[in-house]
Structure 1
Amino acid sequence: MDRRPALEDASPQPDLWAAPARASAPKPHYLGHRERLRERADTAGFTGLPDYELLELLLFRSVPRGDVKPLAKQLIARFGSLGAVLAAGPEALKQVRGVGEAVARDLTLVHEAALRAAREQVARRPVISSWSALLAYVKAALAHEPREQVRVLFLDKKNQLIVDEVVGRGTVDHAPLYPRELMRRALELSASSLIIVHNHPSGDPTPSSADVEITRQIVEAGRTLRIAVHDHLVVGRDGIASFKALGLL
């Protein structure tokens, strides 16, 4: 008779005192969303993406983890459009919950880069012959400004841009503009002509009676110095009004 001890069962026995195993936590619904969105952009391009998804792609760079779709939609709802989000500026952006220094900096950077690219198109050739480029530039610069701002494009004898300067900042419905100061600056720059540009934060670019009157004064001041006023453009979210096209200049 074999008296050797019986071999023990090698299979592990359950620990009766162990805590019951926890069910694995459900995966976040947005898991893999970033990769899918990037793949769509790579495959089909950016043109077919809605604004909030373009904004998501930008936010991916500033917010390395987590779901940024709600933040993208919240920003567009808060400011009204993708363009307005990019033009809002760091302080206004940081008032939105979820927007920190990195997000505010990166979105403002995108706007500045787009603005400089548009300005290059205006600066490369005579402004009068590149009117569509000028309109694209002033729209990018001013359409979403929350306060009135007056810019003047000072031009040389060939109608090429010398400099684009902000000459007045104001409130939601008024920005100061002084004809004498404007002409003094034109003489300093040896400008032969200029184009006045300002925005209406209300969105409606229709010139006001005050706009018409100050433009008349500037034209008169320029005439004595042989400095021409080519146009006065009023920029709003709803479009751009040209004094020259409207017969006001």
Structure 2
Amino acid sequence: MMINLREKILLHGASTLKNEELLAVIIGNGTKKNNVLDLARKIVVDSGSLNLNLEQLMAFNGIGVAQACKILAAIELGTRKVESDTISKGVVSVDDVGKHLINKIGNAPQEKLIAVYLNNSYHLIDEKVIFMGTVDSATVHPRDVLREALKISATQVVIAHNHPNGSLMFSKNDCEFSQRLKEGCSIVGINLLDHLIITKKSYSSLKSLNLI
């Protein structure tokens, strides 16, 4: 079983493996009752998105401390890889930002407010995680977004935050924060292109709803 999976990686690349096959490679060995692929498949099916902690992983028969730590380390490495990815250096549209952030923060368990800074030609200058937590006037201020924009001479900005509950609806706090930010941007000559809500599979735009 393991030899076949390793050969598949060598011949066709790791991207050709299914989630349970990748997990089987990490686990290494099965049990007397279940081979490693069956064990991996059970973990994937029962967990949904592999959103498991150490104790939950070790509850599966055949997963000890060593295997659980390997799985958690692999998942964390994948998460950090996604979070380190950046947008193309070419001309960037709001749709590009939305699709990029679905991959980057769509699965994040906590809300993250990200600002994507562009120049006059709509080329990326930088993207920053501005805040982690609920986005409202009590926890985050427009100056937190504008400070970075002025520092790097950005003239356009798109802000976005994820909704871990999967809702694409903008809250009253979202709208109020966006209006305050738009006013602040206008004062210093920066164009607020949009405010996006990001979920696991999609995004919504405040501007397209005529809310800013």
TM-score, length basis structure 2? 0.77
Instruction: Spell out, residue by residue over 1:12-39, the C-alpha distance to the aligned partner (whole angstroms, 9 max, x if none).
Output: xxxxxxxxxxxxxxxxxxxxx2234455
After superposition, the C-alpha distances for 1:62-92 in whole angstroms (9 at most, x for unaligned) are x4444543245325533x33xxx4xx6xxx6
Residues 40 and 182 of structure 1: CA distance in aligned 2, closer, same or farther (over 3 Å): closer
Q: Mind listing any 5+ residue stretches in structure 2 that lack a counterpart?
A: none
User: What is the Cα deviation at residue 244 of structure 1?
Assistant: 2.1
Aligned counterparts of 2:41 and 2:139: Cα–Cα separation in 1: 36
Instruction: Provide the C-alpha distance between the structure 1 equivalents of 2:182 and 2:159, rounded to a whole number of angstroms.
Output: 11
Task: Work out whether 1:162 is the aligned partner of 2:125.
Answer: yes
8 A Cα contact 2:2 2:28, kept in partner: no
Provide closer, same or farther for how the CA distance between residues 232 and 100 of structure 1 changes in structure 2, counting only shifts above 3 A: same
Find the partner of 1:125 among 78, 85, 90: 90
Which of 10, 19, 42 is matched with 1:73 structurally? 42
- 8 Å Cα contact 1:222-1:229 kept in structure 2: yes
Query: Map of 1:1-249 to 2, 5 A cutoff?
Result: 33-38=1-6, 50-57=18-25, 59=26, 63-66=27-30, 67-69=35-37, 70-71=39-40, 73-75=42-44, 77-78=46-47, 80-81=48-49, 85=50, 93-95=53-55, 96-97=57-58, 98=63, 99-116=67-84, 118-119=85-86, 122-128=87-93, 131-170=94-133, 176-249=139-212
SS of residue in 2 equivalent to 1:103 = helix
For residues 174 and 79 of structure 2, the distance between their equivalents in structure 1, rounded to whole angstroms, comes to 28
**Letter of the aligned partner of 2:54 in structure 1?**
K
Q: What amino acid does structure 1 have at the position aligned with 2:115?
A: V
Deviations 1:153-189 (A, max 9, x none): 1112222222111111115x87932112322221112
Give me the whole-angstrom Cα distance separating, in 2, the residues matched to 1:40 and 1:186.
47
- The Cα of 1:42 is off from its aligned counterpart by 7.0
One-letter identity of the residue aligned with 2:20: Y
Measured in 1, the distance between the counterparts of 2:41 and 2:157 equals: 39
Contact map agreement 1:204 1:238 (CA 8 A) in 2:
no
1:94 and 1:101 in contact (8 A); partners too: yes
Contact 2:195 2:207 in 1 (8 A): yes
Paired with 2:89 and 2:182, the residues of 1 have a C-alpha distance of 26
Q: Distance in 2 between matches of 1:183 and 1:115?
A: 22
* TM-score for both structures, normalised by structure 1: 0.67
Once residues 184 and 111 of structure 1 are traced to their aligned partners in structure 2, the CA distance between those partners, rounded to angstroms, is: 28
Identity %: 25
Look up the SS of the partner of 1:220 in the other structure.
helix
Matched with 1:14 is: none
1:119-166 Cα offsets, whole Å, 9 max, x none, are 2xx2311212xx554333201111111111111111122222221111
Name the residue aligned to 1:13. none
Distance in 1 between residues matched to 2:153 and 2:74, nearest whole Å: 37
Long gaps (5+) in structure 1:
1-32
Describe the shift of the 1:160–1:93 C-alpha distance in structure 2 as closer, same or farther (beyond 3 A).
farther
Given that 1:219 and 1:229 are in contact with CA atoms closer than 8 Å, whether structure 2 keeps it comes out as yes
Flag the 1:71–1:55 CA change in 2: closer, same or farther, 3 A. closer
**Structure 2 vs 1, CA of residues 177 and 75 (structure 1 numbering), >3 Å: closer, same or farther?**
farther
Q: Which has more radius of gyration? A: 1
> Which residue identity does 1:156 align to in structure 2?
N
* Paired letter, 1:176: T
- Tell me the number of residue pairs that the alignment of Structure 1 and Structure 2 aligns: 198
